[in-house]
């Protein structure tokens, strides 16, 4: 079993490589090789016994995809993308990387399929940004994709391509619409959605965090551990049970900011909660108003995808995975 991870230097990509290393197998077969690709050189996961190939490639170069699949990996996790904010600021770059890059990959696989019958599993990370306001709550599985960002548009287009290439038998694809990842490890960043993680992660280590929106803001979350779990399950699942609608809204936890804060109080006490500074930001409040409050995700749940069921659990996952298990 040879696995290719594209976007392996990102947060989810790194955690995925670690998980694959720990599991040692995928689809019931031993993992003997991993190719870790990203625009910068990714780190090899600690403790992996098989062959690791590190590829620093730009997927928006037409030749990159052919090079990545030359060794015919059995499973391809495609996580590479430029983020929402950057795709919105740089229209051409967003389409070049998030749309053309993905299309080059799909085309390279199709041509290999025609040439020698190659037919890998392709697990594609999509996003809840494929939907756009006004949104019902919860959002049904059959709700249309009317994104309000170029990033969301690019993800929605790649979902359509993935389904069509899969329907034609060029590869076995599945699209995983990730919730917002919370608690995102690392430093606070400038993403408009960063505060959902900041207000938990920083207080848990005694640091202040800024909350720019009201406590009634409702959003859709899953832990990094769940996100990796979705991808692994997407690689293992029998696609006959999925049928032709290959893009699935993943399960997650719908919670208000107030509910996040209550969970923080239960897990880490009043002292932690006091580190959250309320500094309303009109622009972030306006952006937030268009975000998904939560999905039904009935299909994905029925197919065995599992997420956290409380914010206490999301916080505990962070403490276990990022803080060595203790506060």
Active site (catalytic) residues: 151
* Piece of 54-62, 117-125, 150-158, 214-222 that binds its own copies (CB under 8 A): 150-158
What's the closest the beta carbon of residue 135 comes to its own copies, in angstroms?
10
Nearer to its own copies, 170 or 195 (CB): 170
CB distance 52 to 2 below 8 Å: no
Consecutive H or E run containing 232: helix 224-236
What's the closest the beta carbon of residue 200 comes to its own copies, in angstroms?
32
Site residues (CB under 8 A) for its own copies, limited to 223-252: 244-245
**Distance of alpha carbon 131 from alpha carbon 4, whole angstroms:** 29
DSSP 43: P
Using the rule CB under 8 A, is 91 a contact of its own copies? yes
* Piece of 152-160, 174-182, 204-212, 272-280 that binds its own copies (CB under 8 A): 152-160
Burial 210-232 (b: 16+ CB within 10 A, else e): bbbbeeebbbbbbbbbbbbbbbb
* Piece of 27-35, 147-155, 177-185, 291-299 that binds its own copies (CB under 8 A): 147-155
Site residues (CB under 8 A) for its own copies, limited to 286-325: none
Using the rule CB under 8 A, is 144 a contact of its own copies? yes
- Kindly write out the interface string for residues 99-118 of this chain, putting x where it contacts its own copies by CB under 8 A and - elsewhere: -----------x--------
Query: Cis ω on the peptide bond leading into residue 322 (within 30° of 0)?
Result: no
**Distance of alpha carbon 90 from alpha carbon 93, whole angstroms:** 5
Q: Compute how many other C-beta atoms are within 10 angstroms of the C-beta atom of residue 323.
A: 13
Q: How far is CA 135 from CA 59, 163, 228, 247, 248, in A?
A: 33, 24, 27, 19, 17
- Strand-pair partners of 3: 34, 75
What's the closest the beta carbon of residue 174 comes to its own copies, in angstroms?
14
Contact residue for its own copies among 156, 183, 231, 264 (CB under 8 A) = 156
What's the closest the beta carbon of residue 235 comes to its own copies, in angstroms?
22
Contact residue for its own copies among 150, 166, 198, 223 (CB under 8 A) = 150
Contact residue for its own copies among 46, 142, 238, 282 (CB under 8 A) = 142
Q: Compute how many other C-beta atoms are within 10 angstroms of the C-beta atom of residue 132.
A: 18
How long, in residues, is the chain?
A: 327
Residues that bind its own copies (CB under 8 A): 91, 110, 132, 141-148, 150, 153, 156-157, 160-161, 163-164, 167-168, 244-245
């Amino acid at each position: 079993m040879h696995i290719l991870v594209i976007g392996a230097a990102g947060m989810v990509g790194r955690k995925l490589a670690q998980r694959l290393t720990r599991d040692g197998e995928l689809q019931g077969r031993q993992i003997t090789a991993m190719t870790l690709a990203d625009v910068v050189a990714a780190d090899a996961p600690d403790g992996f016994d098989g062959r690791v190939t590190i590829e620093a490639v730009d997927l928006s170069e037409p030749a990159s995809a052919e090079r990545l699949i030359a060794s015919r990996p059995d499973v391809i996790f495609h996580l590479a993308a430029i983020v929402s904010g950057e795709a919105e600021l740089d229209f051409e770059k967003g389409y070049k990387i998030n749309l053309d890059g993905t299309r080059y990959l799909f085309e390279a696989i199709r041509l290999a399929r025609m040439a020698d019958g190659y037919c890998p599993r392709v697990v594609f990370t999509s996003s809840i940004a494929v939907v756009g306001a006004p949104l019902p709550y919860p959002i049904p599985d059959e709700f249309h994709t009317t994104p309000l960002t170029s990033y969301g548009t690019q993800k929605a287009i790649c979902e359509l391509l993935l389904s069509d290439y899969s329907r034609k038998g060029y590869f076995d694809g599945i699209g995983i619409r990730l919730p917002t990842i919370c608690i995102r490890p690392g430093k606070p960043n400038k993403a408009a959605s960063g505060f959902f993680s900041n207000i938990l992660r920083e207080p848990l280590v005694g640091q202040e965090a800024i909350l720019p929106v009201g406590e009634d803001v409702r959003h859709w979350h899953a832990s990094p551990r769940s996100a990796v779990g979705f991808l692994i399950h997407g690689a293992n699942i029998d696609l006959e049970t999925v049928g032709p609608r290959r893009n699935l809204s993943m399960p997650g936890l719908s919670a208000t900011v107030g509910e996040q804060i209550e969970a923080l109080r239960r897990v880490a006490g009043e002292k932690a909660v006091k580190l959250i500074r309320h500094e309303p930001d009109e622009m972030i409040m306006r952006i937030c108003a268009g975000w998904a409050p939560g999905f039904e995700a009935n299909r994905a749940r029925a197919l065995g995808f599992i997420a956290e069921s409380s914010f206490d659990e999301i916080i505990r996952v962070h403490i276990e995975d990022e803080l060595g298990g203790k506060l």
